Amino acid sequence: MQSTTDIVKPAGFDLILFGGTGDLAWRKLMPALFQAFRHGTLPEGGRIIGVARDALSDEQYRSLIESRFRDVDGSKQPSPTEFSRFAAMLHYVRMDLSKPEDYQALAQSLAQREAATVVMYVATAPALFTTVVEQLAAAGLNTPRTRIVLEKPLGHDLPSNRAINAAVGRAFAERQIFRIDHYLGKPAVQNLFALRFGNALFEPLWRRETIANIQITIAEDLGVEKRGQFYDSTGALRDMVQNHALQLLCAIAMEPPINSHADAIRDEKLKVLRSLKAWTPETLAQHVVRGQYSAGNRSGKSVPGYLQEAGVPAGSGTETYVALRTEIENWRWAGVPFYIRTGKRLAAREAHIVVNFRPAPHPIFKAPIGAANKLVINLQPRDGLELHLLAEGQAQRVAAPSGSNITQTLAPVQLDLDFDKRFGSERVGAYERLLLDVIDGRLNLFVRSDEQEEAWQWVQPILEHWQAGQMPPRPYAAGTWGPSAASAMIARDGHCWSEEA
């Protein structure tokens, strides 16, 4: 009889990175894994196995990753000693993802060491997701110890998203599937949850009676760079709105969950998505603005328009900017407009949420026109909160029939909390946190299939409206805040974007 001391328990983890030589791997994933290694949070005894079609040895793969680390920000670059220790975890397997025999070889390689957790990170083109998942199952690599990570975009539209999720669901249980949205891993988004559900201060104000409108902005000052061919088949709506922006909207609008468990949080996000106002032909025409950047200036230098970028076909109608207005049809938010905008080649690189409160119902002080309280949640490039208030500015003596009165004049002031300064700039990055959560099996910051499908369901009418040729993109000069139609859209409600206030 075998004693318990003779039983070898699985230890460590195996992280298999499909697309191991790709842009995402060396730009985001490897630096994040190294930072976790440096911080001592990456479990010991792990292996990181890059998978791609290139013919590389382990040592060649390690050299390739080391060369890519030279592009990482200075403070995050490893020293030679640090990288040498980290590189011991790195391995490489050559695979053609269309060949079943290569998956069998991978299975045999992994069987030589039974890891406690096996993570399959699919960082490939979305067209390969179904192939990879089906081949993993055929090779017996979908064991109970396996977790699969799927990068966005998960589909091109609602039907393709359903097809991918159906294929993944046949091979893996929902608890094994980690649909990653790196915005949910950002420290600022975690602070958003903490702000709402860890404090009692704002909850009584978080409703239609006190909030006039909410604006979500995700702006990039760069163009498509070298990703023109990929981006032209995606566009801003698929790339940013369907996932990142709607996840931020859910975080800002959801009801308090009953606890911090993954499904409790995702149940409340799903309710928000199901409550989004349905599109009609009229609202599609009035409440959605589609744009494409033309040549302009960035930091005093001329930059090309989208149609002049490498890899972009002539006459492309792909949007690089989207602004839209929506409402959430429930008791908390009925009648409150939510504005979302995102785009490339805009005036600045920043992401923020602005909660604009209603003005005082009976003003007794003199204040600037349109002045009101607002809460700004900064997501990037800095992470923090700004609370905009009105305080006494100067007193003016005004003549009146009964004598002299003092009229108090209010002036805008703000309380500014910078989380990087408060907690230190060496905070856990989005991918670092999410990768550790996958290894530990925590699903809180990942998207469930039903909420992802609901998001596509809401976006689908916009895609169909555009495909019917109803709304060609409006041009906007690089370095601006987008088409003027976006300002006109929000102005019809009597509001304006934050930089216009």
Q: Say which CATH architecture domain 184-500 belongs to.
A: 2-Layer Sandwich (3.30)
pLDDT at position 403? 52
The answer on pLDDT for 402 being more than 60 is: no
Of 65-69, 230-234, 408-412, the least confident: 408-412
pLDDT interval class at 395 (50, 70, 90)? low
389 or 72, which is more confident: 389
Percent of the chain with pLDDT over 70: 93
CATH class given for the domain over 9-179: alpha beta
Q: How does pLDDT run across 308-349, given as a tens digit for each residue? A: 999 999 999 999 999 999 999 999 999 999 999 999 999 999
Q: How does pLDDT run across 445-463, given as a tens digit for each residue? A: 999 999 999 999 999 999 9
Helix (H, G, I), strand (E, B) or coil at 262: helix
Domain with CATH 3.40.50.720 in the chain: 9-179
pLDDT at position 335? 97
Give CA–CA dist 374/283, Å, rounded: 27
The answer on pLDDT for 369 being more than 80 is: no
Closest to 38 in 3D by CA, of 5, 83, 2, 1:
83
pLDDT interval class at 412 (50, 70, 90)? confident
Q: Which helix (H) or strand (E) holds 50?
A: strand 47-52
Q: Is 9 annotated as a binding residue?
A: no
Whole-angstrom CA distances from 90 to 17, 338, 353, 499 are 11, 45, 39, 46
Q: What is the mean pLDDT of residues 50-56?
A: 94
Two tokens at 21?
């030589």
Percent of the chain with pLDDT over 90: 69
**Statement: the pTM of the whole predicted model exceeds 0.85:** yes
pLDDT averaged over every residue in the chain = 90
pLDDT at position 4? 38
Determine how many CB atoms are found less than 10 A away from the CB of residue 37. 20
Q: Is 96 annotated as a binding residue?
A: yes
Q: Is 261 annotated as a binding residue?
A: no
User: Catalytic residue at 352?
Assistant: no
pLDDT at position 396? 53
Q: What is the mean pLDDT of residues 50-71?
A: 91
Provide CB contacts within 8 A for 377, sequence distance 6+. Answer: 188, 191, 192, 195, 252, 352, 353, 354, 355, 385
Strand-pair category, 146-150 with 301-303: unpaired
Two tokens at 467?
């495909």
The answer on pLDDT for 398 being more than 60 is: no
Determine how many CB atoms are found less than 10 A away from the CB of residue 186. 25
Q: Is 344 annotated as a binding residue?
A: yes
Q: Is 239 annotated as a binding residue?
A: yes
For 316: left if phi > 0, alpha if psi spans -120 to 50, otherwise beta; the answer is beta
pLDDT at position 238? 95
Give CA–CA dist 83/452, Å, rounded: 37
pLDDT at position 411? 83
Q: Is 227 annotated as a binding residue?
A: no
Strand-pair category, 13-18 with 47-52: parallel
91, 156, 244, 287: the active-site residue: 244
Q: Is 366 annotated as a binding residue?
A: no
pLDDT at position 394? 61
Give CA–CA dist 19/54, Å, rounded: 10
Q: Is 263 annotated as a binding residue?
A: no
Closest to 426 in 3D by CA, of 12, 6, 33, 36:
36
Give CA–CA dist 427/216, Å, rounded: 24
pLDDT at position 141? 95
Give CA–CA dist 351/431, Å, rounded: 17
Give CA–CA dist 240/237, Å, rounded: 6
The answer on pLDDT for 113 being more than 90 is: no
Give CA–CA dist 247/218, Å, rounded: 12
pLDDT at position 51? 95
pLDDT at position 9? 46
pLDDT interval class at 63 (50, 70, 90)? very high
Max avg pLDDT among 27-31, 330-334, 427-431: 330-334
The answer on pLDDT for 147 being more than 50 is: yes
Helix (H, G, I), strand (E, B) or coil at 187: helix
Q: Is 226 annotated as a binding residue?
A: no
Q: What is the mean pLDDT of residues 161-170?
A: 95
Q: For residue 408, list its beta bridge partners.
A: 395
Two tokens at 279?
């599109």
pLDDT at position 469? 84
